[in-house]
Chains A and B, each alone.
Chain A
Amino acid sequence: MDRFYKINIAVLLVLSVITVGMLVQHEIEVQGSVNPKFTKKAILKRKYEKQMARNAWLYGKVISLQKAGQSVQAIEELRKIMANNPSDAYASVLLGRLYYQQGRLADAIHSYRKAVQKDPDYVDKKTPLYIGDEIMELISNARGKLNREKRLKPNDTKIQTAINDIYYLQRRIAGGCE
């Protein structure tokens, strides 16, 4: 190994050590300076807490009407809120619950599907929003009934859509890389 190689290998080693050292030091500094309130997990936790508090505030009246069994009035109230917040996934969750209360299974399933499409956190077990078990309960109650109805009315597109919605929700709840 001549001088040229020796010098360049030494330069390479020094540069590598400096780069890795700077990277590690920077990350230690960043992580050390981060207030525990501002870690990614804490931020996410706060985001969910805020979201749930907002839902409780915005939909409080709807929820109390639902609990009182006044689903028609609750849906009316909910529709007013939905007109101003069309992309809010929780409104679709509530609508699904209200339809389920009224026995409108196909509509309930479709609402849950809309909610999951708007916010996949509702079928993510790692988030506090998870309602997969609630959806599975609805699915297990609806599946038999919808299959029977399909046999009676094979060309009814609404029933077929509801069955497709069930499959969609099952796939999402099952997990997978999506």
Chain B
Amino acid sequence: MNRPVVKKLLDISIITGILLGSGCVLLTLLGNPVNSGICLSCFLENLAGAMQLHDHVRMSYLRPELIGFVLGSFVMAIVTKRFRVTGGSSPVIRFFLGFFIIVGCAVFIGCPIKMIQRLGAGDLTAVAALLGLMVGVWLGARYIRAGVHLDREKELPKINGYVFPVFALLLLIFLLVRPSFIIFGQTGPAARHAPIFWSLAISFVIGCSAQRSGLCITGGFRNMFLVKEPTLLMGVIAAFGSALLLSMVTGQFHLGLNGQPASHTEHAWTFIAMLLVGFASVIIDGCPFRQVIKAGQGDVDAAITCLGMLSGAALAIGWSIRSTSAGTTFSGRIAVLLGLIVCVVVVLYYRRPIIKRPDRQTH
């Protein structure tokens, strides 16, 4: 094998993709809910329940994976001296876009990473989600090309960057000490979880690797649509490939449209919901997973987005926005449409017309 091929195969994005895809399946094997080895939106819903932000006990568990991602990213950023504290870029807008990203995920029942795992496990209902996500990212990329971008971020005092990792550390203490105000459900998805050590270890490694690679599901498509740069997309494909392979090897692959775990067959709403996720993720520069990783490496804007996502997760349950196996809900559909309206208003406001420089005349 010649060197460039080896180098390409060993690209950190591809390694992260493989870790992510196989991590999803491994965590499922170790006890996490089926097809939900790693799902940022489900995990945030569980976290919101654990913190009593909603009262659905079956969805209340402090998922160690979230802690592992943040701490992995934080440690890697510190070790490689890439811990750069920035913020101040349209924080409230990011908060609400984070909120609506989780709304979109809740209507589909899963974040983009879970979408990949579901595809890898043969769940064909996720095809509509993939198409919706791609169209959403493509739309976002078109808007970026038309001059849409949020305010420029600026350097902030270091303490701002430490807040989120310290919050993750506090959650770790809660996970280990199990104080009475943190709810750990005994039935349903809350009771299905991998051993804490393995959840933390796997997610910590993925967090470290994702910090180095910058892997992002929506970012992979965005870079391809915008500048035809395939590195991150290769990571996404690697995640799918490894999830598919491991699902097949471990007997978790069930090809079909019907009877898939935690899914529904309202494909049009799945498409629109994931379109919202793709669109909003491009505006705020990253899918839910990437936002968590960025929050760990000192990005205060991403931390605010994460808080918006946590609020979205709490209300997705509290306001019955989340779909079930029976299908989408009325409030879910309305929330998705509202999310799209908010996205369009934001891009309209933040469009900065691109001024073309007159061609220099050469004499």
Contact = CB atoms under 8 A, between A and B. Distances in A.
Interface residues of B, number: 34
Interface stretch (A69-77, A97-105, A165-173): A165-173
B195 interface: no
Interface of A: 20, 23-24, 26-27, 30, 40-41, 44, 117, 120-121, 124, 126-127, 166-168, 170-172, 174-178
Interface string B260-278: 1111110000000000000
A23 B174 CA distance: 9
A11 B324 CA distance: 50
15 contacts: A30-B180, A40-B184, A41-B186, A44-B187, A124-B188, A127-B187, A168-B326, A170-B258, A171-B325, A175-B262, A176-B34, A176-B260, A178-B109, A178-B189, A178-B262
Interface of B: 33-36, 39, 42, 45, 58-59, 109-110, 173, 177-180, 184, 186-189, 191-192, 258-265, 324-326
Contact of A177 (B189, B258, B326): B189
B177 A176 contact: no
Given A23-B177, A24-B177, A167-B259, A175 B187 contact: no
Contacts of A23: 173, 177, 179
A127 B190 CA distance: 13
A27 B109 contact: no
A27 B109 CA distance: 35
Q: Which 9 A-B pairs have the closest CB atoms?
A: A176-B262, A170-B259, A176-B261, A174-B261, A175-B34, A171-B325, A177-B42, A177-B36, A177-B33
B178 A171 contact: no
A123 to B, nearest CB: 10
